[in-house]
Chain A
Amino acid sequence: MLRFLLLFSRQGKLRLQKWFTPVTEREKKKVIREMTLMVLARPPRSCNFLHWRDLKIVYKRYASLYFCCGLEDQDNELLTLEVLHRYVELLDKYFGNVCELDIIFNFEKAYFILDEFLMGGEILETSKTAVGIAMEEAETLQEVTPPPPPPPLTHTHGHLSLTHLPKYVNMFSVLFTDNGGVYE
């Protein structure tokens, strides 16, 4: 089973953290620090697996984001890489061309999608369609009682327009251009 899943940026900013076993806040901070230090220090094209304490670490970089998880000794590293990939696909399906900013501004959605996919560190549903349906059902449920529509974001902060983000590469456009180590 997975023990934790972390998403952090190349600058080491944490974007998402999911802990599948009880961990103290202090220990969490420590793991986060060690993971970011260790993973960000890896040269490009290194292998995606590491040993750390009694855990196996599997990480992969998608555009500007690192996806990193800790798993137990008997878990399958290759398949875990595909767990990460499937999660990226699900994010992409929901957001449409997902990028790091989507996850920053809609962090709660990123957690919800993860919940539809994993539970207690185990795979809950591998089918993209099934997870998609679950998310859509949720959307439909909320549309019955729509909240006040939010005004367009662009007026609030002229300089932070969500539409102009050249520095954030879309994860998937990078992802589908090659067949392996090129996300580095």
Chain B
Amino acid sequence: MPAVSKGDGMRGLAVFISDIRNCKSKEAEIKRINKELANIRSKFKGDKALDGYSKKKYVCKLLFIFLLGHDIDFGHMEAVNLLSSNKYTEKQIGYLFISVLVNSNSELIRLINNAIKNDLSSRNPTFMCLALHCIANVGSREMAEAFAGEIPRILVAGDTMDSVKQSAALCLLRLYKASPDLVLMGEWTSRVVHLLNDQHMGVVTAAISLITCLSSKNPDEFKTCVSLAVSRLSRIVSSASTDLQDYTYYFVPAPWLSCKLLRLLQCYPPPEDGAVKGRLVECLETILNKAQEPPKSKKVQHSNAKNAILFEAISLIIHYDSEPNLLVRACNQLGQFLQHRETNLRYLALESMCTLASSEFSHEAVKTHIETVINALKTERDVSVRQRAADLLYAMCDRSNAKQIVAEMLSYLETADYSIREEMVLKVAILAEKYAVDYSWYVDTILNLIRIAGDYVSEEVWYRVIQIVINRDDVQGYAAKTVFEALQAPACHENMVKVGGYILGEFGNLIAGDPRSSPLVQFNLLHSKFHLCSVPTRALLLSAYIKFINLFPETKATIQEVLRSDSQIRNSDVELQQRAVEYLKLSSIASTDVLATVLEEMPPFPERESSILAKLKKKKGPGAVSVELEDGKERGELNGGGDRGGDAAIAASNASTPSPSADLLGLRSTAPASGATPSAGSLLVDVFSEAGPSATSAGVNDDGFLRFVCKNNGVLFENQLLQIGIKSEYRQNLGRMYLFYGNKTSVQFVSFNTTVSCPGELFRSTKTVEPLVEGGAQVQQVINIECLTDFIDAPLLNIKFRYGGALQNISLKLPVTINKFFQPTEMAAADFFQRWKQLSQPQQEAQKIFKASHGMDTEVLKAKLLGLGTALLENVDPNPENYVCAGVIQTKAQQVGCLLRLEPNAQAQMYRLTLRSSKDTVSQRVCDLLAEQF
């Protein structure tokens, strides 16, 4: 038996733990726990005062139960009592309980803070450390407020014990990270920096974490730390492996401190002082040299610690990116690691080389390792290592090796793990496009990509190939020929059919001269895939057919027959049926001239950043890039959101409203209408963010919208997948709206994206939401609104996300109405009537007489009128049944005074509503909105 519990074993606790371990089922465990909880509760409630030991034991049991994953709703007070015990173990258990079960109960926090205060001033170093630990563990704002002033004093005081200094440094760091505004370093800065010189290695190790964090936030104030860090590092690096006694770890002197020093230096540019810089370069060289020395121990701990320092030194070298000599040495060192027998080192070398590849000094040196990296991609057993190899290949790719790298990545894709296929596909697509000199290679690559990993080829990828083919006429013939060949494979991916349908529809004529790919052969080939495809693809194919009729009049009869068949013209899918009917009519009624104009070749797409790249960046995590992307989208919304640019020619012939999948080619609003002059605005439309057939789409929510005229909070929208809650507040002409998106499913939503488009009279700023919404999770978005002048149209919220692969698209009107900017105005009767008379011009008044659609309950009416935002004026109207209100609408441009009178007629169940304001549009709008409320 291990030398367990030196003297303070709590027998009851051990018995309880073994009971739990003996439970055969979850139910038995819960039963045992409930029994224990009842027991503890009765002990705590009993009139007999518990001694410290019992209290400690029960609190410890509660803690154990909590850590098993059960809720604990009592015992906090007993734990707090333990804090003031003068027995160390009791105090310790009390602090542990508090640290683990933080309770925001303010009463309790005050008591806890009191206990901490006592321990901090106790001058007993072990008590002080316990208290500091508790502050660091909880780290709440209340604690920061109470102690942020005291801890720096403890940290720099001359008589503080080393162990307390260490705790104080890290405790302060924790508070600084949680509430930076409360930790004011000002006067302490230089004394804290000088802790780098402390004799005690433990103090330096703890303090440097604090200094690094502070330096990264305020580099100028802390820049004296650079020379101190360099000299400390130099002393460690040149010390013998036993000099530092306890701080030598498996023959490596102070690995933690060394790494922290190297990390601290990465907060700054290379030292300007020549002597300091020389000393640092010497250190870095020594570290690189040591890597070549034989190990002092065979233990993995020795090599890990040594290599940890080496990798940190390499990070610093890469960060400086100014010493070609060191960079090349670093690269060679990593090259050695690429073939090391330790998987961990291979992994880290691949990762580190990725950053090295972007430096101009070392890019060429990195490239020399291409064969090794390709080999790693093929042979590594561990998927996380292969992933790093793929990342590195992507990073080291340039014009000189693109073909080789793309070929290797493609062949890897055939066997790649499912978890990384999608990312690989994006990378291949980007590299192929970026380094394409001859576009036939590009087309081949993408078609290969579809063939090998069709399921992982997202819409962005196949949209992009079409975009490029359309824009480059030198590749169109080749593309037509290649897709034609690809489509002949017995089993070809649906994405291939999409690309094939689009490209043959546009450029099939370029290969029609060859009898092996005559128009009818092309058509039959495409049509042979038709019945295997999903609705959106079928829709795309139908559009390709009508283009065929235009390109090849000889196919007209055959195609018309297909369109006329029951399976098309009576298809149960409305969209397909509509296309069949309309295309059939178009082909039989329109003259060839009209047909040729409607179905003219697509004009070139505007050039812009590849949306694939944007997608990859987004996949790789949020950052500046996604913000940029967001901007692009918003521009898109503003300029072209409403009108469908793409296929406008065809869409125009669709007299009825198009359904969600009505964009004929899955490329709605992608290109300016053929024949029409593209407007400058629509060039900014982001092709892909707005494109794509959507699986579901809710209509705009007029009902939901009107429910919020007189209230600010509630559920705006709900379907089986998503619930959107709303909370809003308004002050003067400003408003803030919180949107809560709740994922009702257990599956995550990906590519979750929202855009808000406002009418020009409103100004708004939006924070973007994370692209991932986990199952069951709720994310929040804040929208700030400013009312510039009065308005009618509400902002539109568009939400897009993927749920299990299907794109969901929801558009909602945000309930921002003009009355939200009302300021209530109290006034007496005389005042009211005087103003009422001043607003006597006919256009200043709006009136409606309407039937009550809800009950005519007085209280409900009053609540609604107050919810409108106006002041409800008592004793003004001579008829007490009537309601009179007054308010001022605040916009940035002007203030609009507004008076209201509502006359209910209970007998007829009717109302008469009269609005008068200084602005006719306002009277009308408020009248319209309010008339829907009763």
Contact = CB atoms under 8 A, between A and B. Distances in A.
A156 to B, nearest CB: 5
Interface string A101-134: 0101111110110010001101111111110001
A163 B1 contact: yes
A49 B60 contact: no
B839 interface: no
A160 B67 CA distance: 22
A98 B2 contact: yes
B246 to A, nearest CB: 4
Contacts of A48: 344
A9 to B, nearest CB: 12
B300 A179 contact: yes
Nearest to A47: B343
Interface of A: 1, 14, 17, 22, 29-30, 43, 45-51, 54, 74, 76-79, 81-82, 85-86, 95-99, 102, 104-109, 111-112, 115, 119-120, 122-130, 134, 137-139, 141-143, 145-151, 153, 156-157, 160, 162-163, 179-181
Contact of A82 (B21, B171, B249): B249
Contacts of A85: 301
A91 B174 CA distance: 25
A96 B384 contact: no
B833 interface: no
B331 interface: no
Given A97-B2, A128-B246, A119 B136 contact: yes
Contacts of A125: 163, 166, 202, 205-206
B142 to A, nearest CB: 13
A122 B209 contact: yes
A180 B340 CA distance: 14
Contact of B255 (A82, A112, A160): A82
A1 B139 CA distance: 15
B395 to A, nearest CB: 15
B7 A139 contact: yes
B53 A147 contact: yes
Contacts of B312: 76, 79
User: Does more than half of chain B's interface fall in helix, strand or loop, or is it mixed?
Assistant: helix
Given A29-B69, A156-B15, A162-B1, A124 B170 contact: yes
Given A99-B2, A105-B14, A47 B382 contact: yes
A30 to B, nearest CB: 8
Interface residues of B, number: 84
B149 to A, nearest CB: 19
Given A49-B344, A138-B92, A156-B14, 11 more contacts: A22-B139, A45-B381, A49-B347, A50-B384, A78-B305, A124-B166, A125-B205, A126-B257, A127-B246, A130-B202, A141-B89
Contact of A153 (B11, B21, B92, B346): B11
Nearest to B163: A134
B343 A105 contact: no
Contact of B308 (A79, A119, A156): A79
Contact of A78 (B5, B139, B167, B307): B307
Contacts of A129: 246
Interface in B156-190: 163, 166-167, 170-171, 173-174, 177-178
A126 B10 contact: no
Contacts of A54: 621
B344 A123 contact: no
Interface of B: 1-11, 14-15, 17-18, 21-22, 53, 60, 63-64, 67, 69, 87-89, 92-93, 96, 102, 126, 129, 132-133, 136, 139-140, 163, 166-167, 170-171, 173-174, 177-178, 201-202, 205-206, 209, 246-247, 249, 254-257, 259, 263, 266, 298-301, 304-305, 307-308, 311-312, 342-344, 346-348, 381-382, 384-385, 387, 621, 774
Counting from the closest, the 6 A-B pairs by CB-CB distance are A150-B11, A120-B174, A127-B246, A141-B88, A78-B308, A79-B308
Contacts of B11: 150-151, 153, 156
8 contacts: A17-B67, A22-B140, A85-B301, A106-B4, A120-B136, A125-B206, A149-B7, A150-B5
Nearest to B132: A119
Contacts of B4: 95, 102, 105-106, 162
Given A17-B67, A115-B133, A45 B343 contact: yes
Given A78-B311, A124-B166, A47 B206 contact: no
Contacts of A82: 249, 255, 301, 304-305, 308
Contact of A112 (B10, B96, B178, B298): B96
B344 A47 contact: yes
Nearest to B312: A76
B568 to A, nearest CB: 48
A112 B621 CA distance: 36
A163 B171 CA distance: 40
Given A74-B263, A82-B305, A126 B89 contact: no
Contacts of B256: 79, 123, 126
A46 B381 CA distance: 8
Contact of A47 (B10, B170, B385): B385
A62 to B, nearest CB: 13
Given A82-B255, A130-B163, A138-B89, A146 B21 contact: no
B92 to A, nearest CB: 6
A21 to B, nearest CB: 8
Contacts of B311: 76, 78
A168 to B, nearest CB: 10
A104 B132 CA distance: 26
B208 to A, nearest CB: 9
B5 A106 contact: yes
Contacts of B136: 119-120
A139 B7 CA distance: 8
Contacts of A142: 7-8, 87-89
